């Protein structure tokens, strides 16, 4: 894919600190995977303080997203193959 801005996403938590985003995911979702900084998802490398929590709910991925100069956000994005890859541990 490549550019998050071009994807069909929903902002669940706008303009927050990375810690607030990580805490929001841990508090509000059950199926959580922890990945290292630099983990590639949707063709993008994640920026953040490891381990980075990524949640799966139904077929959606909920993840913190850092946009330099704009802050951190929690996004919900239709996951497709990325959900399968997370669950498989790859």
Q: pLDDT (tens digit, 9 = 90+) per residue, 22-74?
A: 999 999 999 999 999 999 999 889 999 999 999 999 999 999 998 878 889 99
Q: How far apart are CA 84 and CA 64, in angstroms?
A: 19
Would you say 74 and 43 are in contact if contact means Cβ atoms under 8 Å apart?
no
Q: Which two tokens stand for residue 54?
A: 């990524």
Domain range for 35 = 4-88
Work out how many domains the chain is built from and give that number.
1
Residue with tokens 């929690």: 74
User: Residue 68: what pLDDT?
Assistant: 79
Q: What is the largest CA-CA distance in the chain?
A: 33
Dihedral, CA of residue 16, residue 2, residue 27 and residue 33, to nearest 10: -140
């Amino acid at each position: 894919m490549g550019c998050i801005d071009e994807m069909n996403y929903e902002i669940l938590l706008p303009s927050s600190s990375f810690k607030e985003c990580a805490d929001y995911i841990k508090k509000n979702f059950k199926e959580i995977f922890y990945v290292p900084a630099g983990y590639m998802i949707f063709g993008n490398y994640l920026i953040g303080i490891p381990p980075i929590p990524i949640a799966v709910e139904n077929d959606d991925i909920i993840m913190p997203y850092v946009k330099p100069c704009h802050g951190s956000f929690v996004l919900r994005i239709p996951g497709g193959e990325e959900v399968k890859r997370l669950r498989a541990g790859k």
